[in-house]
Amino acid sequence: MSYVGPEFDPSQPPRRSIRRPLTVAAALVPTCLAGYLVYQATSGPDGNEPARSLPASSSASADPDTPSGSSSPSSSLSSGTDPSDKAREKDKNDKDGKGGDADDNDSATKPSGGRPAANGPLKGKVVVIDPGHNPGNFRHASEINRQVDIGTNRKECDTTGTSTNHGYTEAKFTLDVARKLRTLLHKQGATVEFTQDGDRPWGPCVDERARIGNKAHADAVVSIHADGSGAGNRGYHVIMPGKVRSGSADTSAIVGPSKELGERVAGKFLSATGSAPSNYIGGGTGLDTRTDLGGLNLSTVPKVFIECGNMRDAKDEALLTSPAWRQKAAQGISEGIAGFLRK
């Protein structure tokens, strides 16, 4: 079918429109101008200087897999930051101010984990919980092996702690029980501080752990541990400070109240967990007194350690690795602390 009309004249050759090239050329002018301006902005006056980085786009979104407050490798590069600078800064932070003879301005000596307490029978009371060891200690052998003054002599800053025969570490155990304990004490209105909450690369050292409790003016401090004795040795025991007056250590004022705290914690731990007192320390009482522990020697507030069981014994291991039993352990310690503070 053919069509002849006012807009079609077969007798004349078709004419090529020049409107499209003109339109394209007009569109290219601002683009070229923008390219020239970018070139000028990123080169020196003569175009011979090294190129300068342009700022990253503000519309770039954070990598959802990157933890809050940190940068992914791509965001570090786009902002002009050398990732190796961040690594060097992290290494420096790992080495600086992490325990030992820190001064009063060292942020590492400030208690962590505190928050406003709720109303309850322990309102106004301050409890410091000391989760033994640190999950990262094994990566910092030189730091934790450094000797610190404990009053009677000098000892290692800290140790890695023990573990079960199947690899469950004491450091993980102590943090879990400590966090459960904090929740229970908060419900009763206590203000709770931690010596560490898995929020530092290593430590703190034993002398700093004592300072944290002292600076908090704690009404009670409990250091949570699990033992690493031989198979067949079972049960818990609470360690109380003996009388020490040597160098920077003077436990004269805390021996009495610490003994009462220890007895209450031991008794409530027994009733809450059903575990028997140690069959290898304390003569069946679940109580022990020592003068060789820096965390006790340097304390100026009532303080005890509790060894919740023996990680190297298979039967105790079954308890220590049970979340339900760890909740009972926290409950027993909480009741012992509460009984001491309400006396």
Q: How many CA atoms within 13 Å lie on the side-chain side of 116?
A: 2
Average pLDDT of every residue of the chain: 77
- Percentage of the chain surpassing pLDDT 90? 65
How far is it, in rounded angstroms, from Cα 259 to Cα 109? 26
pLDDT tens, residue by residue, 96-115? 333 333 333 333 444 455 56
pLDDT at 41: 39
**What CATH code is assigned to 110-341?**
3.40.630.40
The reported pTM is 0.69
pLDDT at 331: 98
Q: Is the pLDDT of residue 309 over 90?
A: yes
How far is it, in rounded angstroms, from Cα 300 to Cα 57? 55
pLDDT tens, residue by residue, 238-276? 999 999 999 999 999 999 999 999 999 999 999 999 999
Residue 302: closest CA among 242, 252, 258: 258
| Catalytic member of 263, 307, 317, 335 | 307
Q: Is the pLDDT of residue 141 over 70?
A: yes
Residue 154: closest CA among 216, 226, 101: 101
Q: Dihedral, CA atoms, 220, 226, 229, 230, nearest 10 degrees? A: 140
Task: Please indicate whether residue 24 or residue 315 has the higher confidence score (pLDDT).
Answer: 315
307 catalytic per annotation: yes
pLDDT tens, residue by residue, 188-229? 999 999 999 999 999 999 999 999 999 999 999 999 999 999
pLDDT at 119: 81
